[in-house]
């Protein structure tokens, strides 16, 4: 939008209405971007959480096997 179009818009609608619209769409743009970033971070968190859960399960299994071997040695 160029300056002349903005001037004619202000002339026809009024300055407060035009500024309110500009601020509204600016806030909407920022909120939409924030929501996208939040969604992306949540997906990354879910992936990391799944990987950590799998690692804990693998470590628990290895620890159980080691415990069983130590019990056999003890006997």
Dist. CA 3–CA 5, nearest whole Å: 5
- pTM for the model stands at 0.59
Sign of CA pseudo-dihedral 69, 70, 71, 72: positive
| Joined tokens for residue 72 | 């056999």
Dist. CA 37–CA 32, nearest whole Å: 9
Tens digits of residue pLDDT in 2-45 = 889 888 989 999 999 999 999 999 999 999 999 999 999 999 99
pLDDT given for residue 3 in this prediction: 87
Q: Which residues are within 8 A (CB) of 6 and not within 5 positions of it... i.e. 6 or more apart?
A: 18
């Amino acid at each position: 939008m160029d300056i002349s179009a903005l001037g004619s818009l202000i002339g026809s609608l009024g300055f407060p209405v035009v500024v309110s619209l500009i601020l509204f769409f600016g806030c909407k743009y920022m909120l939409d971007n924030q929501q996208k970033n939040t969604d992306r971070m949540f997906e990354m968190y879910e992936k990391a959480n799944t990987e950590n859960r799998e690692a804990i399960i693998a470590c628990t299994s290895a620890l159980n096997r080691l415990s069983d071997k130590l019990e056999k040695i003890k006997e």
